[in-house]
Chains A and B, each alone.
Chain A
Amino acid sequence: KNQVEQSPQSLIILEGKNCTLQCNYTVSPFSNLRWYKQDTGRGPVSLTIMTFSENTKSNRRYTATLDADTKQSSLHITASQLSDSASYICVVSAANYGGATNKLIFGTGTLLAVQP
């Protein structure tokens, strides 16, 4: 069964500190993995998209890693800001060669709270 699991479920850190969020998946065949940031009451916003051949990708203070062998990904946030408080959702796209679209399998998210 295609699944995406994230940890921790929630996290509280102080402003300025770093943190790392984890994502494990059992999706096959794998197409790509993305991390979304979702503010409370808003739609998800894409942070990064990583394909099979990419190990690391950075976007400002966000750095995502992907290990396709162990089927793990992480999202590292550097020098956290209050505005980083949000839910971070790991999404894996399963290649759907016979279908109309690649399937997106969503994790349940990690709820991050950055405190002053």
Chain B
Amino acid sequence: DTGVSQDPRHKITKRGQNVTFRCDPISEHNRLYWYRQTLGQGPEFLTYFQNEAQLEKSRLLSDRFSAERPKGSFSTLEIQRTEQGDSAMYLCASSPPARRSYNEQFFGPGTRLTVL
């Protein structure tokens, strides 16, 4: 399968714990996005990488959230001191260089986070 992959698919944690999610984009996609989706809502943009550079961050990305893409390939999203309000589906998407597409984004299956 050459699509976007995310790991883990499900994560249950206790309030106050740290969690880290991983996203592997489609190879040769230089752009990578993180979104958060709560039940009954559309995805909300969190952050965007072009290669290894984090170019945009949403105001939703509080100080407890950090994302990295150290080598311009896979990315990690870490949430420190989790809160119950962090419970959501965390989606990763990737897209090829802008000249090839309308910024079409290919989504991964998501990581479902439940904070108890």
Q: Mark B85-116, 1 if CB is under 8 A from A, else 0.
A: 00001010100001000111111111010000
Q: How large is the interface on B (under 10, 10 to 19, 20 to 34, 35 or more residues)?
A: 20 to 34
Please provide the chain A residues from 37 to 80 with a CB less than 8 Å away from any CB of chain B in the complex: 41-46, 49, 51
Q: How large is the interface on A (under 10, 10 to 19, 20 to 34, 35 or more residues)?
A: 20 to 34
Query: Nearest Cβ in chain A — how far from B35, in angstroms?
Result: 8
The CA of A88 and the CA of B43, in the complex, are separated in Å by: 12
- Residues on B with C-beta less than 8 A from A102 are 102-103
Once the chains bind, are B112 and A43 in contact (CB under 8 Å)?
no
Which of the 9-residue segments B11-19, B44-52, B72-80 touches chain A? B44-52
The CA of A106 and the CA of B109, in the complex, are separated in Å by: 17
The CA of A45 and the CA of B40, in the complex, are separated in Å by: 17
Selected contact of A89 from candidates B4, B42, B55, B108, CB within 8 Å: B42
Verify if B56 is at the interface (C-beta below 8 Å from A): yes
- Residues on B with C-beta less than 8 A from A41 are 89, 109-110, 112
Once the chains bind, are A45 and B55 in contact (CB under 8 Å)?
no
Once the chains bind, are B40 and A49 in contact (CB under 8 Å)?
no
With contacts A106-B42, A109-B42 taken as known, whether A42 is within 8 angstroms of B48 at the C-beta atoms is: no
Verify if A93 is at the interface (C-beta below 8 Å from B): yes
9 shortest A-B CB distances, which residue pairs? A106-B42, A43-B107, A100-B55, A102-B103, A32-B102, A44-B107, A43-B109, A43-B110, A108-B42
